[in-house]
Amino acid sequence: MQLELKVNGRLVRRDVEPRTLLVDLLRDELALTGTKVGCDTSQCGACTVLLDGHAVKSCNMLALQAQGCDVVTIEGLRDLVPEEVREEGLHPLQAAFWNEDGLQCGYCTPGMILSACDLLKENPHPSEEEVRQGIEGNICRCTGYQPIVFAVRKAADVLADAGIDPLGLPRQEAGR
Amino acid sequence: MIPAAFRYERPVTIHEAIELLGQPEAKALAGGQSLLPLLRLRMAEPELLVDLQDIPELRGMRHDLDQIWVGAFVRHVELAESAPWRVLREAAEATGDRQVRRLGTIGGATAHADPAGDLPAALLALHAVVEAVGPAGRREIPIDRFILGPLTTELAPDEVLTGLRLPQPKSGTGSSYRKLRQKASGFALAGVGAMVRIEAGRCVEVGIGVTGVGLQPYAAEAAEGRLVGTPLGDADVEAALEALLEGVDVQEDAYASADYRAKMCRLCATQALESARAEALG
């Protein structure tokens, strides 16, 4: 069936079988292999992408369900924020995970970052507890989560200083 | 890729959806957060998936005179933010995780009738009524008669669950949901939704919905009956909750023995009732 959607800002048209999952389209058709498949039972969150700005599990929806939607994967994340906010070309969340050692093997990282994106959009300054709740849909088997929590809170500060939310939209708020 | 192939349709009216669902082995798709895992595991192999997301009549919440109508396509995130009853907000917030709550819907969760689903417990506590439309027209089914067994409901294959009717919260009402999560899956090892209405210091109305414990979510009617007319004191609650599991085949698995489940269920019920009572007394 004909499918049309936006992926990382580009219009994509494909003829897909109904049983194609969104993650299959991203990885196999569009070669956006940053999005991972970790469990196939929708528990691990490694396949998390942004769908119309919200974190969803791309292994738990059909590509056709995303008809007309706007999808952002880890490959397109940095393009959401202005260049001057990037650190060595990375989105503040990516940079914070790098700087705080928020990963070891890195397999969960793309999903983790996109979930954190959703969290920080809703809650610009989450407490440690709120970060832990915010990433409950993402499993990491290496880090023990502590550096991930540090990284998310660090990114929150960077985004606040830049006056934007993680999707790059201006955010009005008093300084911390 | 889902192993078995199927066709996919996106009707824009309820009428079209009913016609499509009348085809052999057709299945309605809402948020897909329960159905997609079943498809991937080959536990469901429909020939046709009818995606209901383009039907505007399934969306939104409406306040009528003494009732609230919640559209089947209202998602968990929306419920968690703006459901008119706390028990429903708390049950929605306790469901799945952030990503699942973004796509999952109240209609989907109700029609799926998971034995450990959170929303059914809240809907049972509120004595919600399920609204369904099929070829023969519309019918309304009380939630306790809608859920027939594990993953089994009164909904016919060619019926669309269009929404749920809830009472309007009156003064003196309170409600709450408490749950013990299985650490890995997040599903309820035991979960209890409670709703109470208190007038002149006495409980005049009560609802208790239990999930995760038996083969299906159920209304604890015997316990409810014992609470009406009492001031909901500690001793009243303790006595009433002796009937919480009456006639229930308490399940046992690798995560919890039947005895532990029963104990945790009573604890969740005690906490949910206490929290509902506190809200009712403002």
Same domain, B127 and B215: no
Residues of A in contact with B7 (CB under 8 A): 18
Same domain, B138 and B217: no
Distance from CA of B267 to the nearest CA of A (A): 23
Q: Was domain A2-76 assigned CATH 3.10.20.30? A: yes
Distance from CA of A84 to the nearest CA of B (A): 30
Among A1, A35, A65, most B C-beta atoms within 10 A, so best to mutate, is: A65
Looking at residue A51, its pLDDT comes to 98
Same domain, B128 and B180: no
Same domain, B201 and B234: yes
Q: Does B29 touch chain A (CB under 8 A)?
A: yes
* Residues 6 or more apart in contact with residue B21 via CB below 8 angstroms: B27, B28, B50, B157, B158, B159, B160
Q: Where are the beta strands (DSSP E) in B40-187?
A: 48-51, 61-63, 67-71, 129-134, 137-142, 147-149, 152-153, 160-167, 173-181
* Contact state of A60 with B99 under an 8 Å Cβ cutoff: yes
Same domain, B47 and B68: no
* Contact state of B32 with A62 under an 8 Å Cβ cutoff: yes
Residues of B in contact with A65 (CB under 8 A): 29, 32, 51, 53
Residues of B in contact with A56 (CB under 8 A): 99, 102-103
Looking at residue B52, its pLDDT comes to 98
Tokens of A98: 């790098």
Tokens of B11: 């009707």
* Contact state of B102 with A20 under an 8 Å Cβ cutoff: no
Range of the domain at B19: 7-51
Same domain, B183 and B197: yes
Distance from CA of B5 to the nearest CA of A (A): 6
Q: Above 70 in pLDDT, residue A176?
A: no
In a domain, B177, yes or no: yes
Tokens of A139: 């499993």
Residues of B in contact with A118 (CB under 8 A): 98, 102
Distance from CA of B2 to the nearest CA of A (A): 5
Whole-number average pLDDT of chain B = 97
Residue B193 sits in a domain whose CATH number is 3.30.390.50
Confidence of residue A173 (pLDDT cuts 50, 70, 90): low
Distance from CA of B33 to the nearest CA of A (A): 6
Q: Which residue has the tokens 């709450």?
A: B176
Looking at B124, B152, B167, which one is the last position of a domain?
A: B167
Mark which residues 45-84 of B lie under 8 Å from A by CB: 49, 51, 53
A78-162 CATH choice from 1.10.10.60, 3.30.70.20, 1.10.150.120, 1.10.3720.10: 1.10.150.120
Query: Is A2-76's fold the same as A78-162's?
Result: no
pLDDT in tens, B155-206: 999 999 999 999 999 999 999 999 999 988 899 999 999 999 999 999 999 9
Same domain, B263 and B203: yes
Q: pLDDT 10s per residue in chain B (282 long)?
A: 999 999 999 999 999 999 999 999 999 999 999 999 999 999 999 999 999 999 999 999 999 889 999 999 999 999 999 999 999 999 999 999 999 999 999 999 999 999 999 999 999 999 999 999 999 999 999 999 999 999 999 999 999 999 999 999 999 999 999 999 998 889 999 999 999 999 999 999 999 999 999 999 999 999 999 999 999 999 999 999 999 999 999 999 999 999 999 999 999 999 999 999 999 999
Tell me the three state secondary structure of residue B196: strand
Q: Does B37 touch chain A (CB under 8 A)?
A: yes
- What string of DSSP letters covers B90-115? HHHHTSS-HHHHHH-BHHHHHHHT-T
Looking at residue A163, its pLDDT comes to 96
ipTM here: 0.95
Residues of A in contact with B41 (CB under 8 A): 41
Q: Are the C-beta atoms of B228 and B216 separated by less than 8 Å?
A: no
* Contact state of B8 with A57 under an 8 Å Cβ cutoff: no
Q: Above 60 in pLDDT, residue A174?
A: no
pLDDT in tens, A154-168: 999 999 999 999 999
pLDDT in tens, A35-67: 999 997 889 999 999 999 999 999 999 999 999
Residues of B in contact with A67 (CB under 8 A): 10
The full set of domain ranges for chain A reads 2-76, 78-162
Which chain A residue shows the shortest CA-CA distance from B102? Answer: A56
Nearest to A146, CA basis, from A106, A103, A111: A103
Same domain, B42 and B120: no
In a domain, B2, yes or no: no
Burial of residue B171 (number of CB atoms within 10 Å: 0-12, 13-18, 19+): exposed
**Rounded CA gap, A141 and A114, in Å?**
18
Whole-number average pLDDT of chain A = 96
In a domain, B1, yes or no: no
Distance from CA of B236 to the nearest CA of A (A): 35
Same domain, B193 and B247: yes
Percentages helix, strand, coil for chain A (3-state, rounded to 5) are 40, 15, 45
Distance of CA A31 to the CA centre of its chain: 17
State the DSSP code for B30. S
Among A27, A62, A130, A141, most B C-beta atoms within 10 A, so best to mutate, is: A62
Q: Above 80 in pLDDT, residue A105?
A: yes
Q: What average pLDDT does range A102-129 have in this prediction?
A: 98
* Contact state of B6 with A118 under an 8 Å Cβ cutoff: no
In a domain, B220, yes or no: yes
Count of structural domains, chain B: 3
Q: What average pLDDT does range A103-118 have in this prediction?
A: 98
